[in-house]
Structure 1
Amino acid sequence: MISRLDFLRAADDSVTDSDVLRLALQHAMAELGALGGCVHMRGSGGELHLVSSAGLPAVSVRVWEVLPGDSASATARAVACDGCAWDPPGSRPTDAVVPPAGSAGRAAVPLHGARERAGEDGRKGAGESVGVLTLLTGRHSQPTPDDWWFLRQVAGWVRDRLTARPFPDPAASAPGPPLAGSADLLPAGAGELARALWNAEDAVLRVDTAWRVTAANPAARALLGHPDEAAADRVLWREPGPWQTPDAEERCRLAAARGRAVGFDAVLPATGRCHHVRVLPVSEGAVVHVMEVPPWRVRQADEVAAIRDSAERARRTAELTTALAAARTPKDVVEAVAARVLPPFAAQGLLVLVREDDRLAYIGSVGYPRAFLEHMGGPRGLPMTGRLPAERALLRDEPLFYASREEWMADNPYGDRPPSTKHAWAFLPLTASGRTFGVCVMAFDTERRLTPEERTLLLTVSALVAQALERARLSDAELTRARELQRDLLPRHLPHLREVTAVARYVPAGQGSDVGGDWYDLIPLSAGRVALVCGDVMGHGLSEAATMGRLRTATHTLAALELPPDELMGHLNDIVSDIGPDAYATCLYALYDATTGTCTVVRAGHPPPLVVHPDGRAGYPDVPDNPPLGGARPPFETAELVLPAGTLLLLYTDGLVESARRDIDEGMVALARLVEHADRGDLGRLADHLVGRLLPGGQPVTDDAALLVACLHALPRADVASWRLPDGPRAAGEARKHVREQLATWHLDELTVTTELLASELVGNVVRHAKGPIGFRLLRTGALVCEVSDASLTMPRIRRASETDEGGRGLQLVSVLAERWGSRFTSHGKTIWTEQPLTPTQDTVAAALLSLADAD
C-alpha cells in the first residue's frame, strides 16, 4: 500500500486531471483486486455524473452515466453521508449493475472539495463531498480497515491534485445560458450570433448529461461523419472525432462535472490533424466547440513543447546532481536515478551492473521481475562471457542503443534473446577515474528510438551516475569496515552468571549513517558482585567508535580493581578529558551485590535505569545526574537501591527512546509502559519486543541504540557463611576450623585442604601486617569464595622473595592455590578474597608447593 501511495505522490505537475483519475482507479483496483471502478462528480442538482471508468463493460458504463443523488447505492450514500459506504454482493439498489461474471460488492469513498464547511458544533470539518470513487469487487465481505484507509488516502490524493484548481461550490452553480431556441431569454442580437455559429467552419454541438448529441451545426455533423443527416441522439463517445483520443473523454466529463470550461488539443487518429476542443458546461449538458489548429500553430506548439521539455530535463538534471551528491550508498544512487531519470525519458526499467573480478553483478534495479534478477545470478551476478550487450558496452566503453527487439537480435551474434517484457534499451558505460567499472541499463516497455539530443543527455547523466556510484561504493566499503570494527569492540557474548541473567541488543543507525559509540557490558566481580554498564560516546564516526573501545577496556580494568562506582567514574572522566576538548561521553554504571540485594548506581549525563519490580511495576529511580564524561568535575554523586530478587534492570542509550518525532521523556514513558504490559518470562523475546516497538522498521534513523536487560538474583542465605575472628595467633586456627565445618556442610570436602591453606595465609597476613577486627566469610556462588577483612587501608602486593628471605612467599602461594584473587576497599578498611572452582581437576596443594620450589 505504502509503495503505491509513494508512486502516486511522486507524480509531477504535468499529470492531467484525467490522468489523476485514471491512476487513482488503476492503483485502487490493483490493491483491492477489484473487477472495475469508476469516478462520479456531483452536479448542480445533486446528481452524480460519470467522469472516468476502468474495467467496466459498455452496458455498465451507459447505466452509470448519471446516478440520482438520493439513490440507495453505496455510490450515492458515500456522497450523502460524506463517508465510506459498502454494498455487499447480491444487494439490488435501483441503480445496481451486475457484471456478467456474477454479483459484485461495491465499495465507495467520497472525494472532497477545497472548501471547508462548518459542522453542527460550529467547527470546520472536511471539505464537502463533490464526488465519489467506487470499486466493484468480487469479495463477499467488505474491505478491511487497511483497505478503507488506502482508499481514503487515494481519494485524498485525488482531492489534492484536483483542488489545486478548486472545485466550485455545487450549491452556487448557476445554469449556463441556453442555446438558440429560447429567444425570449436571449439578449438582442443573439439570433445573429447563433446563425453565425451555425454556419461557422468550426464544429459546434450540444450534448445532454448522458453525452447524447442534441444539436450539431453542419461542420460538427461532418466531423461526426454524418454530413447529410441529423446527429441527434448519438452518443458522443461512439462517434469519430477528437473525443476518441486518449484522455479526451475523461477531460470532457470532468469539465462538465466541475462546471468549468476546459480546453485541450487533440490529434485525429484518422487524419493526423490537430484540433482544439473546448467544453463549456451549461444546464442539462454541455456545449462542445472544435476548431482545427493550423499547421504553423502545431509547429509552434511543438517548438514550445521542445523548449519546455528541454528546460524540464535541465531541471531534473540539476535535481539529479543534487541527489547524487547527497547519496551515501549505491542504493541511494539507484533510487535517485530511478526517480529523476526514468520519468522524463518515459523509461520503465533500470538495471545498474558493476564488474566484480570476472563477474557482472547488479547492485540495484527497477521494473524487472524477480525471476529475471534470479536468472542474472542474484547479487553475485553472472560470469562474464562477453556475449551480453551490457558486457560489450562495459568492455568497449561504448554506449549501445536498441530501439526495438529486432535491433537487439540483429546486433547480437550469439542469439541471446532480450528480456520478454522490454522492447528498447540504452546501455550506458559507467566510467570514473579513467576506469570503466559498470554499466547502467535503461529499458522501455515499448519501442523507443532516442534522438541524438536524448542520447547526449543520457551520456552526461551516466557520467554523473558513475562518479556518484564510485563515491558511494567507497563510502559503503568504509562504513562496512567501521561497523565491523564497532562490532568487534562490543561484547560478543554476555557471561552466564548466577547473580544476573542478562541479554543485550545493539541496533546500528540507518543505512548510510556513520557508526556510533554506544556500548554495554556485564562484568563479573568478586563475592557475588556484578557491574552493569551502558554508555554512549557523543558523535558518529571511526574516532567515536575507537573512543568507545578505549572506555569499555578502561571500565573493565577499573572494575577489576574493585574501585567504588564514583571513583571509577572519575577515572573514566579523566580518560575522556585527555582525548580532547570536544570529546564527551555519557555512562551509567550499576554495581549489584547479590549477597545484600543492594545496587549502587552512578550516571554521567546518561538516561536513568528502568527498574521493573517483580510485581510488574516499572519506574525510574531517583539517581543523581552528573555531567557527561569529559565535562564533569568529581566527586560523582551515587544512589544506593535495594532491589529484591526477580527485579528487572534495564540500561539503554538515548537512540532507543529518542528520535526526531519523539523527545526522550516521551520515549522513556513509552519504554516503561511497554515493559509493564509485555511478557517478561523470556528476556530475549522481551528485548526484541521493546526494540521492535520503539524503533519502527527495526532500525533507528540517525543514532545507534543499545539495550541491556538484566534479571537480578539473590544469593541464598545458605550459601553465605561469615564469622568474626579473634585477634592474635589463634585467628588462623579458628579460620581453619570454620572452613572444615562449612565445607563439610556444603559437601565440598575435596576443597578443604586448599581452602585451609588460603585462609591461614590471608588471616596470618592480617595478624602480622594489619589491625583488627578480623572478618572471615565463605561464599558458594559459581565458585568458592574465601574473604578476610580488616580495618587497614594498606593493600597487599606480591613480591619476589630471595633464597635467604624467611617470608614473603604467602601471596605467591595464594596466587597459585586460587584461580583468582584480589582485594577491595570497604567502608571500614579492606577485604582480601580468593576464588576457587567448585570442581578441582588436580591436587592444587601439591602444584602450589612444586611451583614455590621451582621459584626458589
Structure 2
Amino acid sequence: MAEGESKRDKARMDRSEGFGERLLGVLLDRAHEMPPQLIAPLIAEGVAQVGGREVSILLQDYGQEFLVPLPGRGLLVGEPEAIGDSAAGTAFLRMTPVEVARTDGVRVYLPLLDGSDEVGVMALTLGSVDDDDRRLLRRLAGLVADMLVTKHAYTDRFFQARRRQPMSLAAEMQWSLLPPLSMSVPQVEVAGILEPAYDIAGDSIDYALNDDILHASVIDAMGHGLDAATMATVAVGAYRHARRAGISLAEKYAFMDQAIAEQFGPDHFVTAQMMDLNIVTGRLKWVNAGHPAPLLIRNHEVARQLGGPATLPVGLGGPPPKVSEYTLRRGDRVLCYTDGLIEERGRGGEQFGEERLIACVNRIELTGEGLRATALLLSHTLKWERGATSDDATLFLIEWRGGTADHLAVLE
C-alpha cells in the first residue's frame, strides 16, 4: 500500500475519544501510580461518572463462604453476603451481572474477573439501566478487578479484608504459594478448594497453562502445622522448577523426590498427583505418587476412577513411575482430592469414605452448575456432612471442553 493511501485510510478512521473511552482511560492512567488506599475513592468517582452510587467492593473470604466488603473512602461497607444465597453470590458464582430492582432504582452486581479468576463483586445502584450502561459497567468492572489484583501486591489491606478469623502461620505460607483457585479459557477450566482455609498446612495445588498443555499437581505433605507447610513449599517449588524446565512427568517426579529427600531426610514424604492435559486433543497423562485415584465425571455422574499404577510418595526414593494415559470426552470433568477428604470421621464416628464422596459428587452434579459453583457447593456439602475438619482436605476439578480460542485474538 502506498504511503499516501495509508495516511488517507488513517485520516478516515475515527480516533476521537468517546465518553466510555475517556472514563476508562482516565482510571487506567491514574491507576499506574495510585497508592492502594486511593483505589477505593477512585472507583467510587468512576462509578459516579456514570450516574452510579452506593458502591461496594465485595471480596471472597478465605473460607469461600462469604463476600466481604472492602473498607475504603467512598465505598459503602455493609454486612458480608453469603456466596450461596445472595444476588452478589449469584453474580460471583455464575460470573455474570445480576440486576435487582429497587424502589430507588436498580442494584447491579458485577463479577470482578481478573482473566477468569474471580476476585469478587462490585455492587452499585443506578436510577435505570440500559444496554449502554451494561456494556460500560462490564468493562469498568474488568478494569477494577485488574487494579485490585495489581495493587494487592503492595498492601496487606485486601488480605485483611478477606479474613473472617485468625489465620495460622502455616496457612499464611500456603495461601501465599497458591495460584488463582479458578481459571477458565474456552478449552479448559479448573477450580480448587482447600480446607480448613485458616489452618491449612500440608496440602497445596499448582497449575500452569503452557500453550496446549495444562500442567497440574495436587500435593499433600505429611504431618501438620509449620513442618508440613515447609515441606509443601519445597515440593511446589520443586514441581514448578521441573515444570518450567520442560521435562516429562516421570522426570518431574524424580526431581521432586530428590528435593524432598535431600532437604528433609528419609522419614519425610509428600504424596502428589501430577497431570498433563492436552487441551486440544483431551489426552490426559498422570503420575500418581501415593494419592487417591482421581474420579472421572461424565454426563453429571462419576463414571470411573482414573486408576493405574501408583508409585511411592516423593521423598522415599521410588523407582521411575509409570505414566498413565486416558483420552477425555468433551465436557468430562476430573476430580483430584487428598486423602483428608475421605478419611475424616463423620458425625457418627465412621470414616467418610469414597462411596459417600461419590454420592455427594453425583448429587451436586445433577444441579448442572458451572465448575466453580460445583467446587464450592461440593466443598460446603462435604464440610456439613463430615463435620469439623481435623486434617487438610483439598479438591481440584478440571473440565475439558476442547475446541479453540483463536477467535479471541481476532479484532472485528
Q: Are the aligned partners of 2:331 and 2:400 in contact in 1 as well (CA < 8 Å)?
A: yes
- Change in Cα spacing, 1:519 to 1:637, as seen in structure 2 (3 Å) is same
AA partner of residue 676 (structure 1): N
- Residue 608 of structure 1 deviates from its aligned partner by 0.9
In the other structure, the counterpart of 1:483 is 171
1:698 Cα deviation (Å)? 7.8
Structure 1 counterpart of 2:71: none
SS of 1:709's partner is strand
The match for 2:318 is 633
Pairs within 5 Å for 1:176-215:
none
Q: TM-score, normalised by structure 2?
A: 0.53
Match among 648, 654, 670 for residue 333 of structure 2 = 648
Letter in 1 for 2:229: A
Deviation per CA, 1:324-344, whole angstroms, max 9, x where unpaired? Answer: xxxxxxxxxxxxxxxxxxxxx
For 1:627, give the aligned amino acid.
Answer: L
Matched, 1:538 2:226: no
Match in the other structure for 1:548: 232
Give the match's secondary structure for 1:644: coil
Letter in 1 for 2:297: V
Whose RCO is larger (CA < 8 A, sep 6+)?
A: 2
One-letter code aligned to 2:196: P
Report the CA distance between 1:595 and its aligned residue: 2.2
Unaligned runs of 5+ in 1: 1-476, 720-779, 783-837, 841-856
Instruction: Give 2:357's aligned amino acid.
Output: L
One of 585, 595, 609 as aligned partner of 2:280: 595
Cα distance change on mapping 1:615 and 1:491 into 2, 3 Å? closer
Opposite residue 223 of structure 2, the aligned amino acid is G
Larger Rg: 1
On the 8 A contact 1:650/1:707 being kept in 2, the answer is: yes
Which of 172, 187, 205 matches 1:499?
Answer: 187
Rate the CA distance shift 1:686–1:495 in 2: closer, same or farther, 3 A: closer
Query: How many residues are aligned here?
Result: 242
Matches within 5 A, 1:793-804: none
Residue aligning to 1:672: 358
- Secondary structure at the counterpart of residue 190 of structure 2: strand
| Correspondence for 1:563 | 247
Q: How does 1:514-529 map to 2 (within 5 A)?
A: 515-526=200-211, 528-529=212-213
Corresponding letter in the other structure for 1:669 = E
1:751-762 to 2 correspondences below 5 Å:
none
Does the CA-based 8 Å contact 1:494-1:521 persist in structure 2?
A: no
After superposition, the C-alpha distances for 1:675-729 in whole angstroms (9 at most, x for unaligned) are: 222224322332222222322378643211111112112135xx8xxxxxxxxxx
CA drift at 1:839 = 6.6
Q: 1:178-230 CA deviation, whole Å, 9 max, x = no partner? A: xxxxxxxxxxxxxxxxxxxxxxxxxxxxxxxxxxxxxxxxxxxxxxxxxxxxx
Separation (CA, whole Å) in 2 of partners of 1:494 and 1:553: 20
Gaps (5+ residues) in structure 2?
1-164
What amino acid is the match of 1:523? A
1:678-693 to structure 2, matched below 5 A, reads 678=364, 679-693=367-381
Residue 501 of structure 1 aligns to which amino acid in structure 2?
E
- Whole-angstrom distance in 2 between the partners of 1:493 and 1:690: 15
Distance verdict in 2 for CA 1:663–1:561, change over 3 Å: farther
Deviations 1:55-97 (A, max 9, x none): xxxxxxxxxxxxxxxxxxxxxxxxxxxxxxxxxxxxxxxxxxx
Instruction: Give the letter for the 1:547 counterpart.
Output: M
CA contact (8 A) 1:608 1:621 kept: yes
- Indicate the RMSD between aligned Cα atoms, in angstroms: 2.8
Change in 2 beyond 3 A, CA 1:498/1:560: farther
Per-residue deviation, residues 145-199 of structure 1 (Å, max 9, x unmatched): xxxxxxxxxxxxxxxxxxxxxxxxxxxxxxxxxxxxxxxxxxxxxxxxxxxxxxx
SS of equivalent residue, structure 1 residue 496: strand
Tell me if the contact between 1:508 and 1:700 (Cα under 8 Å) persists in the aligned partners: no
Give the drift of 1:589: 0.8
Measured after TM superposition, the shift of residue 582 of structure 1 is: 2.0
Compute the displacement of 1:489 (Å).
Answer: 1.8
1:14-35 deviation digits (Å, cap 9, x = unpaired): xxxxxxxxxxxxxxxxxxxxxx
SS at match of 1:624: coil
Distance 1:613 1:503 in 2: 17
Q: Mark the CA change 1:494 to 1:560 in structure 2 (over 3 Å): closer, same or farther.
A: farther
Matched, 1:623 2:313: no
Cα distance in 2, alignment partners of residues 711 and 657 from structure 1: 22
What letter is aligned with 1:654?
D
SS in 1 for 2:168: helix
- Within-5 A mapping of 1:311-322: none
**What amino acid is the match of 1:548?**
A
CA distance in 2, matches of 1:494, 1:694: 19
Q: Assess if the C-alpha contact under 8 Å between 1:507 and 1:700 holds in 2.
A: no
Secondary structure (helix, strand or coil) at the match of 2:398 reads strand
| Residue type at the aligned position of 1:599 | L
Where do residues 244-323 of structure 1 align in structure 2 (5 Å cutoff)?
none
Taking the TM superposition and a 5 Å limit, the aligned residue runs for 1:100-249 are none
Question: For residues 568-589 of structure 1, what are the alpha-carbon distances to aligned partners after superposition, in whole Å with 9 as ceiling and x for unaligned?
Answer: 1111111111122222110001
Residue number in structure 1 paired with 2:400: 712
- Matched residue of 2:253: which SS? helix
Note if 1:694 corresponds to 2:382. Answer: yes
Contact 1:650 1:709 in 2 (8 A): yes
**CA, structure 1 residues 567+642, in 2 after alignment: closer, same or farther (shift >3 Å)?**
same
Q: State the 1:623 CA deviation.
A: 2.0
Give the percent of matched residue pairs that are identical in Structure 1 and Structure 2.
26
CA distance in 1, matches of 2:170, 2:267: 21
State the distance in 1 between where 2:375 and 2:334 align.
12
Superposed counterparts of 1:17-28, under 5 Å: none
Distance in 1, Cα, partners of 2:328 & 2:194: 26
